[in-house]
A and B are shown apart, each in its own frame.
Chain A
Amino acid sequence: MNATGHAMLLPVLLPMVAAAVLVVMPDGLRRVKAGVHLAAMLANLAVAIFLVVVVAGGTHGTTVVYLPGNWPVPFGIVLALDRLTALMLLLAASVGIGSLLFALARWHRASVHFHPLLQLQLMGLNGAFLTADLFNLFVFFEVLLAASYGLLLHGGGSLRVRAGLHYIAVNLVASLLFLAGAALLYGVTGTLTMADIAQKLPHVPASDRGLLHAAAALLAVAFLAKAAIWPLNFWLPSAYAAASAPSAAMFAILTKVGVYAILRLWTLWFPTTAGDSALFGHAVLVGAGLATMAFGSIGMLRSQQLARLAGYSVITSSGTLIAAAGFDNPSLTAGALFYMASSTLAAATLFLLVEVVERQRQIEVEGPGIDDVAGRLPAFGEAPPRLDANLDDEQIPLVGRAIPGALAFLGVAFLACTVVVAGLPPLSGFVGKLAMLSALAAPGPMSGNATSAWLMFGLLLASGLLSTVALSRAFIVHFWATQDRASLRLRVIEGLPIVLLLGCCIALSFAGERALRYTSEAAAGLHLPQGYVDAVMSARPHAPGAAR
């Protein structure tokens, strides 16, 4: 085992140790705590970038396997790293940094345990992406969910507790379904290592096929509920709207865990080569995904609250991803993975922006003793009106009226977010959507009939249009129609994560070709799962005393 193997353990170990350190630190050391947390987040990002570089440099379909307990493969826990996993790790690390920076402005003071919870959330996410064992996946799901319950309730208030109660109840039931599915699958195949299950699936006798399919369906329901697929997504808009901004930004990647699990397990277990079970349930994935796209777009259009609008945009993007996965077409999946990266970053940014924009309306308990002057973006003073100026409806000169710097910044950021979420050129959302549209229009092998492909084509365009309408309307309401608003407060530390996350989207669009090449290699690896299976099953434990 080389450095890469040991580095694969870091995305789980690092947040765990950081959380342990942060939880015992006394609350008085707030600055030290924030510094330690920031250092842990940056280290995590560095590890994620390193892992992406490692898999991107490898040959086609590389999967790096690590045996944490040094047990032989079907018996011990296995960690596997391929391009999709590395991409998800990088996404989680980026969103985590954005969420933390934003929280440092004031939210981290709202309760004692924000820092450890955020690290535990990251640990659960990273573990869920890395593990190659079904029951281990369940454990990491529980870790990330337990942390997310805490983050959702962060800040308190009856609104959050009420939304949290629904969220917890739904997720507990989903977890029970996950357990039932995993147990059934173990009963049928006698193993819990994902790759081993994939190997044994084609040999399951016909009398057990029904049980096998029931197990897969139970697991799928659990994952689809987590991915917020219609009709299992009623909890999402109110929960995400109730959460504090940094938590909501972090939650932007939570639904993607469900999408990741579906992508990973469905492509691994039910490829076209899986005999009698080939492409089991693809029509359900496509249908539910398309329904979710429509549901999310209409929800965006009808939301009056910005936070709910952002929640519905998360639903739309998960619907798009699940529908794209169901077609079992590598080039469509490649576009979808690119779209996932851009839409996750954009949704996280949107949740942060929502908080800043709606701050005046919020009846929140302000964090204690915030210094409002230090670190604020400079606001320009009102220039004296000129006599020959243009006048607006209220006879106030239009020319020469300065836009406060903070407002201008937020407006530009919001517009950039609109462009990414709706998939308009020139930013990254467009690249992802274009890749998906061209894959859908291209003649080629498509599981699922041509009608659903064209339906998805139309829905992709329509959801872009509806998102544009909904977000532009919100822009008009919040940036144009309010002239006599109190001066907007924005601190640099709140602007920074917004700039960074949007910067990632812009970088993604500039590096579109390289990123798309990466995602198409990831998709190729997903749709030819034999490489993954071989890599996991051929991993051998180290002999004791052998040189590492």
Chain B
Amino acid sequence: MEAIISIAIGVLVAAGVWLVLRPRTYQVLVGLSLLSYAINLFIFSVGSLSIDKEPIVRSGVAADLVNYTDPMPQALALTAIVIGFATTALFLVVLLALRGLTDSDHVDGEEEDS
């Protein structure tokens, strides 16, 4: 399971970095989203990867990492998702504003000379 998660994070990061470095604003936006998915998965995985374990304590079962999964990374990932979502929305607005103001979807607002 560790290998699958690692490969998934790696692919997401690679795709995200490549897209962030592209000249079109929409590509940058998608790249940032992919990067934030990768980071969220990463946060989730630093706790302990386990199947069929819940983060909430039940009565009668000792509260340790043998019986439960660490709830902290899940809470962190949740916060990071919310904040990432909001900032991505804000980036989208600025992207549209730039598009409207300069009639170009290049990140510099003007086409390169080619």
Contact = CB atoms under 8 A, between A and B. Distances in A.
A164 B70 CA distance: 38
Contact of A186 (B72, B79, B94): B72
Contact of A158 (B36, B47, B80, B102): B102
Interface residues of B, number: 31
Given A169-B28, A183-B42, A186-B73, A175 B87 contact: yes
B82 to A, nearest CB: 10
Given A135-B76, A166-B107, 4 more contacts: A165-B91, A169-B28, A172-B36, A179-B80
Interface in B65-106: 72-73, 76, 79-80, 83, 86-88, 90-91, 94-95, 97-98, 101-102
B3 to A, nearest CB: 17
Identify whether the interface residues of A are mostly helix, strand, loop, or mixed. helix
Given A169-B20, A173-B35, A186-B72, A164 B83 contact: no
A409 interface: no
Interface in A24-69: none
B54 interface: no
A398 interface: no
B76 A180 contact: no
Contact of B46 (A135, A169, A187): A187
Going nearest first, the 5 A-B pairs with the smallest beta carbon separation are A187-B46, A158-B101, A183-B43, A162-B109, A183-B46
A422 to B, nearest CB: 33
B95 A173 contact: no
B98 A161 contact: yes
Contacts of B90: 146, 149, 168
B25 A165 contact: yes
A183 B46 CA distance: 7
Contacts of B111: none
A180 to B, nearest CB: 6
B39 interface: yes
Contact of A164 (B28, B87, B94): B94
A176 B87 contact: no
A172 B91 contact: yes
Contact of A146 (B20, B80, B87, B98): B87
A195 interface: no
A313 B53 CA distance: 54
Interface in A510-544: none
B86 A146 contact: yes
Interface in B26-71: 28, 32, 35-36, 39, 42-43, 46-47
A363 to B, nearest CB: 15
A176, A182, A192 — which one has the most chain B CB atoms within 10 A of its CB? A176
A158 B28 CA distance: 19
Interface in A56-93: none
Contacts of B73: 183, 186
A243 interface: no
17 contacts: A149-B94, A153-B97, A161-B94, A162-B102, A162-B108, A168-B94, A172-B36, A172-B88, A173-B20, A175-B87, A176-B35, A179-B43, A183-B46, A183-B76, A184-B46, A186-B72, A186-B76
